[in-house]
Amino acid sequence: MPSFSSPPNPQAYYQQVWEIVRQIPLGKVATYGQIAKMISPPIGVEIEAYAAFAPRWVGGAMAACPDDVPWQRVINSQGKISERAGAEKQRQLLDQEGVEFDAKERIDLKKFGWKGPSSDEIEQPKLF
């Protein structure tokens, strides 16, 4: 399986990620992997490779996102904020939105997880 440190066209991929993240409602979160699954693999990237690398690509998109993207609503698959610069700010923003953390600093994805847009909320049908 080839290794992909970034998508073949990072800017195009990042735009797709940001459009999805902009749809996550206040008080809800989504995981990197969940967002990756909402985007088709780029041309030339096999499904297995995409499944392996896409969550990291979503992380790269979030690290480079514009100010209008609610980056704080994207967390890891364990329901936690990934350790990195900005993690404390992310926690503060999610607290302000009413997202609750348990004693192990996890978010209950059943309660606060976003299931994706409903069919009438999809802004870019080609993505979903």
Domain-by-domain residue ranges, the chain?
10-110
The DSSP annotation for 42-110 comes to PTT--HHHHHHHHHHHHHHHHHT--TTS-GGGEE-TTSSPPSSTTHHHHHHHHHHTT--B-TTS-B-HH
Note the CATH number of domain 10-110: 1.10.10.10
Please tell me the distance from the alpha carbon of residue 28 to that of residue 56, in angstroms, as a whole number.
Answer: 21
Q: Which two tokens stand for residue 91?
A: 């926690």
Query: pLDDT for 39-97, tens place per residue?
Result: 999 999 999 999 999 999 999 999 999 999 999 999 999 999 999 899 999 999 999 99
Mean pLDDT (whole number) for 12-41 = 98
With H, G, I as helix, E, B as strand and everything else as coil, classify residue 21. Answer: helix
Mean pLDDT (whole number) for 13-22 = 98
DSSP 4: -
Please tell me the distance from the alpha carbon of residue 14 to that of residue 64, in angstroms, as a whole number.
Answer: 8
CA 25 to each of CA 5, 7, 58, 67, 78: distance values in angstroms, whole numbers, following the listed order: 30, 26, 18, 16, 20
H/E element holding 31? Answer: strand 30-31
Report residue 117's pLDDT band, with 50, 70 and 90 as the boundaries: confident
Please tell me the distance from the alpha carbon of residue 26 to that of residue 58, in angstroms, as a whole number.
Answer: 20
Please tell me the distance from the alpha carbon of residue 47 to that of residue 53, in angstroms, as a whole number.
Answer: 10
